[in-house]
Amino acid sequence: MATGSLFSHRYLLGQLVKRDVLLRYRGAMFGIAWVFLNPLIMLAIFAFVFGQIFQARWPQQDGGAPFWLVLYSGLIAFNIFAEAVSRAPAAVRSYPSYVKKIIFPVEILPLVPLGAALVHGAFNYLILLAALAWTGHLTASALLYPIALLPLLLLALGLAWFLAAWGVFIKDMSQIVPPFVQMLMFLSPVLYPASAVPAVLQPIYQLNPLGAVIETCRDVALGHPADWRGWSLAMLLGLAASGLGHAFFRHSREEFADAL
């Protein structure tokens, strides 16, 4: 089973994630401090552009948290998904020496981008909590944010296994996937609420499982009532996607060494 395999190799996975994160900032003047500085700078820019210049308001918003904070609370969730999925096609192909070692658990390689995304997401989340406290909108429900993320993580995991396997055989996947992920950001309630979508498009729009998760994450972060029914459906889809993705990966991995 996938869960047992991941648990038994948790230390190795942790080391690979640590190596991935550290390599990204190697040689930088501030080093690993950029893990904290990047989201802080991004939030400061959001606050200045949307709060001071545009003075934007969330559609149908009456009071409550400022627009830039509402936007940031949803963007954290999507960025975790985007980083994990966009980097997945190269997750296995980037480690040909590992693939050719019979004893190496290749199935953990697609989890490395997801683990790195979670590291960055964790710092974003801490900054979100600090910003909520600073603006006077921090509530106990904000602690449910990591739980609200679970369906998105399962969906990202399933897609990562699919895309990592395809990426071994189709090198163009690394160029194809990122634009689709970028497009998905505009098709998900990241920059706007789901309620702003025209009624005629709602049945189609609700087929996007990211929407329910992002909305739930935003609601718990801001202390609003969350749609846990939609979240539960997304959870079931995430479980199905992770199971199918792992099965597809295991079916394909015997040919990885030949392809690489």
* Nearest-angstrom CA–CA distance, 41 and 46: 9
At 260, the amino acid letter reads L
- Average pLDDT over every residue of 7-24: 85
At 246, the amino acid letter reads H
* Apex 121 CA angle, 25 and 50, nearest 5: 100
- Average pLDDT over every residue of 103-131: 90
* Residue-wise DSSP of 165-184: HHHHH-TTHHHHHHHHHHHH
User: What pLDDT is recorded for position 1?
Assistant: 47
Domain residue ranges in the chain? 2-259
**Please, are residues 89 and 218 in contact by the beta-carbon 8 Å criterion?**
no
Q: What is the pLDDT of residues 178-188, one digit of tens each?
A: 999 989 988 88
- The token duo for 171 is 């090198």
* Nearest-angstrom CA–CA distance, 92 and 167: 8
User: What pLDDT is recorded for position 55?
Assistant: 63
Q: What is the pLDDT of residues 57-115, one digit of tens each?
A: 666 555 577 888 888 899 999 999 999 999 999 988 888 887 777 678 888 999 999 99
Residue 54 has pLDDT above 80, yes or no: no
Residue 228 has pLDDT above 50, yes or no: yes
**Please, are residues 78 and 188 in contact by the beta-carbon 8 Å criterion?**
yes
pLDDT more than 90, % of the chain: 41
Which residue stretches of 88-149 are H helix?
96-99, 111-135, 145-148
* Nearest-angstrom CA–CA distance, 12 and 28: 26
Tally Cβ neighbours within 10 Å of residue 5: 14
pTM of the model: 0.88
Residue 260 has pLDDT above 80, yes or no: no
